[in-house]
Amino acid sequence: MLKCRSVWKKLAPLARASSSVCRQNVRRTGLTNGRIPAHVPAAHMSTGPAGGGRENQLYILLVGATFLGGGVYAYRTVKGDQQRYQERIEEISSRPHRVAKQVPAAPIQSEPPAAEATEKETVPEPEPEAAPSPEEPSPPAPDTKVAAPSETTEPPPGVDVVPASLKVPSHTPYLLIGGGTASFAAARSIRARDPGAKVLIVTDEPDLPYMRPPLSKELWFSDDPSVTETLRFKQWNGKERSIYFQPASFYIPPEELESAENGGVAVLTGKKVVHMDVRGNKVKLDDDTEISYDKCLIATGGMPRNLQVIERAGEEVMKKTTLFRKIEDFKSLDKVSRNINSITIIGGGFLGSELACALGRRSNEFGLEVIQMYPEKGNMGKVLPEYLSNWTTEKVKTEGVKVISEALVKSVTCKDDKLEIQLKDGRLVKTDHIVAAVGLEPNVDLAKSAGLEVDSDFGGYRVNAELQARSNIWVAGDAACFYDIRLGRRRVEHHDHAVVSGRLAGENMTGANKPYWHQSMFWSDLGPDVGYEAIGIVDSSLPTVGVFAKATAKDTPKAATEKSGTGIRSESETEDTATSPVASSTPAPAMVQHKDDYGKGVIFYLRDKVVVGIILWNVFNRMPIARKIIKDGEEHADLNEVAKLFNIHED
């Protein structure tokens, strides 16, 4: 083995030299070939006028000199580039060598094997670096600590080719994959319970952790013209806050994580985890960096689904389609909506309806036609019982939205820069832009490499009641299909659930072993007159019992906020900033009085006579009672009696 190494060392410079000469030639010819045509026209031009012989000579001299100068410059640049290219290649190819090495005591580790490093500007480390053999003997078997992405204890001075991996810690006690709500809640939980914990969040987004609900609600109602930059919104109590959970000063830079005395939370943005080695307790990023961990949380959330007809419709259509999920989607939709005449939202669930209402309110301001189409009979058709769904649809219409229900999209084409949506029943809708809000595909990319189970009914990683997938791996948030002791196996895509499950995962990662027990809630506001909070399984296919009181003008989210001046929203967990969207806005359109006015009330969802879900319709601050009823899981003979507990007639 030693022999091989020494032979390689001897041959390498030779090989390199000869290959570089070859490469040089190729490059040079390539480049000069490219350059010659550029000069020819110049030469032609300069021989145009019939000057005297001396003038001609002068011209030729000038042209020749320019040509020569250009050639020399080109040669120098190419050589320099090629040099750097070389170094880079060596660096990369030397990494596999370093992987086999133990984490050495030697300080300067970021140097590639020296034999080939003669071109580097830094002090090349002598042979020991290139000869891992003496150190190789017993690579510690269990924890394959990777030396490559270094923890620079002494950063090499003046190296301009510092691979980004140098900034990434090679090991972290707590690794959180995904930088959303669940991840942040877990980070907070871990830090609270494990003093001095070092937590590394890895996210492929460029942003720090932020909350998602305002992206389809509060941010659209802001009066501030720079809201797309500041991303700040007003809460129910009039106070402004940013959608980011914490400002940047809360986090520590990833490169300082290992040495931080009291630990901290570091966020590595713009990096995606592509491979997970569960046996080795390590992950690999998209830039080939490896990070090992003690405990890992997968909180990868999901990607918005698209309609097949749109995906097949070609690039022109895709360019005019928005899949709404992230901050950049909000920014681009805001921009687009100001410059077009007509926008269509496909999807009648939470996101679709909220966006439709938000854009509907702008319709007057910007002369924007807002259309919402979906296959169900009414808005929130899969959540609300039919009578309530119809009622909600009417409200959405008063927000300025053209609702097309029972619409199945057959095809979408782009004609004359406008989109034409052909529905299966023959109707044709012409619009400028589409927003597709047709569901979320949970992100389970790591399941294969990690050997994790994926649930076939609900999607997402299958985890137990304690949110654990396998030893040392937990999953929380949208991507987790977990066992709910009371309600059975489910997967929940709401903000509060992300907070609750993230927090629970963090607790369990620090040894708590608690199952999912505190039921999360969710809420939605569709305009100033319709607001509800819900908890548990709220599926319109279940039998329901609704108990309503006749509403007065006092019983809207807007009125409730204005009167009490305090929080009308039940506390969803730590990161909640639920709000009435209209607290600071223009007066509502006149309420249309229906014969059956579902002003406020409670709706119970039953499964085998047990209440599994509750909606509080325009009734606020009563979530704890609802939570208790679901937790008890009792069969109640008369639900009207249960409804009394909510005191719906009071404020």
Partner 1 sequence: MSYCRQEGKDRIIFVTKEDHETPSNAELIPEDPDDPYEEQGLILPNGDINWNCPCLGGMASGPCGSQFKEAFSCFHYSKEEVKGSECIDNFRNMQECMQRYPELYPQEEEKESSSQAESNSGSVSALPPETDSTAGTSTSESTVSSDSTSPTDNQIAS
In the range 388-447, which residues lie near partner 1 by CB under 8 A?
none
At its nearest, how many Å lie between partner 1 and the CB of residue 497? 14
By CB under 8 A, tell whether 152 contacts partner 1. Answer: no
Pick from 312, 427, 550, 609 the residue near partner 1 by CB under 8 A: 550
Cα–Cα distance, 293 to 472 (Å, whole number): 9
Q: Kindly tell me the burial class for residue 636, based on how many C-beta atoms sit within 10 Å of its own C-beta (0-12, 13-18, 19 or more).
A: middle
Asked if 650 contacts 622 with a C-beta cutoff of 8 angstroms, the reply is no
By CB under 8 A, tell whether 571 contacts partner 1. Answer: yes
Pick from 343, 407, 526, 648 the residue near partner 1 by CB under 8 A: 648
The residue (of 175 and 623) whose beta carbon lies closer to partner 1 is 623
User: By CB under 8 A, which span of 13-21, 58-66, 191-199, 398-406 interacts with partner 1?
Assistant: 191-199
The residue (of 40 and 485) whose beta carbon lies closer to partner 1 is 485
Four-residue CA torsion sign, 602, 605, 609, 612: negative
By CB under 8 A, tell whether 624 contacts partner 1. Answer: yes
By CB under 8 A, tell whether 193 contacts partner 1. Answer: yes
At its nearest, how many Å lie between partner 1 and the CB of residue 531? 14
Tokens of 200: 């590394």
β-bridge pairing 409-415 and 418-423: antiparallel
At its nearest, how many Å lie between partner 1 and the CB of residue 575? 6
Cα–Cα distance, 121 to 534 (Å, whole number): 63
By CB under 8 A, tell whether 187 contacts partner 1. Answer: yes
At its nearest, how many Å lie between partner 1 and the CB of residue 7? 54
By CB under 8 A, tell whether 73 contacts partner 1. Answer: no
The residue (of 363 and 580) whose beta carbon lies closer to partner 1 is 580
Asked if 148 contacts 142 with a C-beta cutoff of 8 angstroms, the reply is no
By CB under 8 A, tell whether 191 contacts partner 1. Answer: yes
User: By CB under 8 A, which span of 5-13, 28-36, 134-142, 385-393 interacts with partner 1?
Assistant: 385-393
By CB under 8 A, tell whether 379 contacts partner 1. Answer: no
Q: Output the 3-class SS for 306-351.
A: CCHHHHCCCHHHHHCEEECCCHHHHHHHHHHHHHCCEEEEECCCHH
By CB under 8 A, tell whether 245 contacts partner 1. Answer: yes
DSSP 42-70: HHHHHT-S---HHHHHHHHHHHHHHHHHH
Residue 515 is given by DSSP the state P
Q: How far is CA 166 from the centre of its chain?
A: 24
Cα–Cα distance, 132 to 392 (Å, whole number): 70
Asked if 649 contacts 549 with a C-beta cutoff of 8 angstroms, the reply is yes
By CB under 8 A, tell whether 467 contacts partner 1. Answer: no
Question: Please, which of residues 196-235 interact with partner 1 by CB under 8 A?
Answer: 196, 235
Tokens of 259: 């040495």
Phi, psi of 15 (to 5 degrees): -60, -45
By CB under 8 A, tell whether 250 contacts partner 1. Answer: yes
By CB under 8 A, tell whether 262 contacts partner 1. Answer: yes
Total residues contacting partner 1 by CB under 8 A comes to 75
Pick from 264, 347, 460, 502 the residue near partner 1 by CB under 8 A: 264
Cα–Cα distance, 238 to 217 (Å, whole number): 15
Question: Please, which of residues 602-621 interact with partner 1 by CB under 8 A?
Answer: 621
By CB under 8 A, tell whether 242 contacts partner 1. Answer: yes
At its nearest, how many Å lie between partner 1 and the CB of residue 258? 16
DSSP 1-55: -HHHHHHHHHHHHHHHHHHHHHHHHHHHHHHHHHHHHHHHHHHHHHT-S---HHH
Asked if 610 contacts 635 with a C-beta cutoff of 8 angstroms, the reply is yes
By CB under 8 A, tell whether 385 contacts partner 1. Answer: yes
Cα–Cα distance, 267 to 200 (Å, whole number): 6
Cα–Cα distance, 471 to 67 (Å, whole number): 68
The residue (of 220 and 236) whose beta carbon lies closer to partner 1 is 236
By CB under 8 A, tell whether 518 contacts partner 1. Answer: yes
The residue (of 218 and 432) whose beta carbon lies closer to partner 1 is 218
At its nearest, how many Å lie between partner 1 and the CB of residue 351? 23
Question: Please, which of residues 485-504 interact with partner 1 by CB under 8 A?
Answer: 503
Cα–Cα distance, 651 to 647 (Å, whole number): 8
The residue (of 457 and 635) whose beta carbon lies closer to partner 1 is 635
By CB under 8 A, tell whether 577 contacts partner 1. Answer: yes
At position 548, the amino acid (one-letter code) is F
Four-residue CA torsion sign, 244, 250, 253, 254: negative
User: By CB under 8 A, which span of 50-58, 94-102, 347-355, 512-520 interacts with partner 1?
Assistant: 512-520
The residue (of 81 and 635) whose beta carbon lies closer to partner 1 is 635
Nearest to 201 by CA among 225, 219, 176, 226: 176
Q: How far is CA 641 from the centre of its chain?
A: 44
The residue (of 222 and 431) whose beta carbon lies closer to partner 1 is 222
At its nearest, how many Å lie between partner 1 and the CB of residue 205? 18
Pick from 212, 395, 433, 569 the residue near partner 1 by CB under 8 A: 569
Pick from 43, 318, 336, 545 the residue near partner 1 by CB under 8 A: 545
The residue (of 372 and 572) whose beta carbon lies closer to partner 1 is 572
- Please name every residue paired with 610 in a beta bridge, in sequence order, or none if there are none: 607, 635
Phi, psi of 181 (to 5 degrees): -65, -45
Pick from 32, 82, 246, 306 the residue near partner 1 by CB under 8 A: 246
Burial 79-110 (b: 16+ CB within 10 A, else e): eeeeeeebbeebbeebbebbeebebeeeebbb
Those residues whose C-beta lies under 8 Å from the C-beta of residue 273, and which sit 6 or more positions away, are 177, 202, 283, 284, 285, 286, 446
By CB under 8 A, tell whether 383 contacts partner 1. Answer: no
At its nearest, how many Å lie between partner 1 and the CB of residue 570? 6
User: By CB under 8 A, which span of 33-41, 67-75, 164-172, 568-576 interacts with partner 1?
Assistant: 568-576
The residue (of 424 and 644) whose beta carbon lies closer to partner 1 is 644
Pick from 575, 583, 614, 630 the residue near partner 1 by CB under 8 A: 575
By CB under 8 A, tell whether 172 contacts partner 1. Answer: no
User: By CB under 8 A, which span of 257-265, 305-313, 341-349, 442-450 interacts with partner 1?
Assistant: 257-265
